[in-house]
Amino acid sequence: MHGRLVTGAIGMFIETKANFMAQLGDFPQAARIYGVAHAATRRGAIGWPNRELSRPLLALTRERLSQADYERAWQEGERPTPAEIFGAPAPRSDAEPIDQPPPPPGSPGSRPTPASAPGGTAVDRPG
């Protein structure tokens, strides 16, 4: 919807995609998409970056690329429209994801403990 209306709010969604690319280790693509997100939010007079996670991932992206590669990718990212960025290619097959620990048990995104596993409960057992 934001894309059809060309609101600056779409920049927040694009920023999230850039964060995913950085987490996957595809730093050139992340830099391009951060450029799109920055341009979209700037057009909408919205502050940037919007996501707390973006700052460290943006710093990591800058660290992993040479200054020239980072600036080139960022400038390439400022050219596409927000709608075009969602059709961006999939991450490179040679990109290495950043290791992240699994979420703690019981937190959002964690998997329930099966009843058959140590610590499993009767609630986990099928009827």
Across the range 80-90, mean pLDDT stands at: 58
Residue 34: give the domain boundaries.
1-87
Across the range 103-107, mean pLDDT stands at: 65
Q: Is the pLDDT of residue 111 over 70?
A: no
Q: Is residue 69 part of a domain?
A: yes
Phi and psi, residue 97, nearest 5° = -65, 150
Q: Is residue 54 part of a domain?
A: yes
**78: pLDDT confidence band, cut at 50, 70 and 90?**
confident
Taking Cα atoms as reference points, which of 88, 76, 10 lies closest to residue 43? 10
**Using one digit for the tens of pLDDT, what is the confidence trace for 16-37?**
999 999 999 999 999 999 998 8
pTM to 2 decimal places? 0.59
Q: Is residue 99 part of a domain?
A: no
- pLDDT value for 125: 40
Say if residues 83 and 10 touch (Cβ distance below 8 Å).
no
- pLDDT value for 72: 93
Burial call 29-38: b when 16+ CB within 10 Å, e when fewer: bbbbbbbbbb
Report how many domains make up the chain.
1
Q: Is residue 12 part of a domain?
A: yes
Q: Is residue 121 part of a domain?
A: no
Q: Is residue 67 part of a domain?
A: yes
Across the range 31-47, mean pLDDT stands at: 83
- pLDDT value for 6: 47
Q: Is residue 125 part of a domain?
A: no
Taking Cα atoms as reference points, which of 81, 82, 83, 72 lies closest to residue 29? 72
What is the dihedral sign for C-alpha 91, 48, 81, 70?
negative
CA distance 22 to 31: 8
Tokens of 88: 């961006």
Helix, strand, or coil here: 37?
helix
Q: Is residue 108 part of a domain?
A: no
**Using one digit for the tens of pLDDT, what is the confidence trace for 61-77?**
999 999 999 999 999 88
Summary mean pLDDT of the chain: 73
Residue-wise DSSP of 101-124? PPPPTTSTTPPPPPTTSTT--GGG
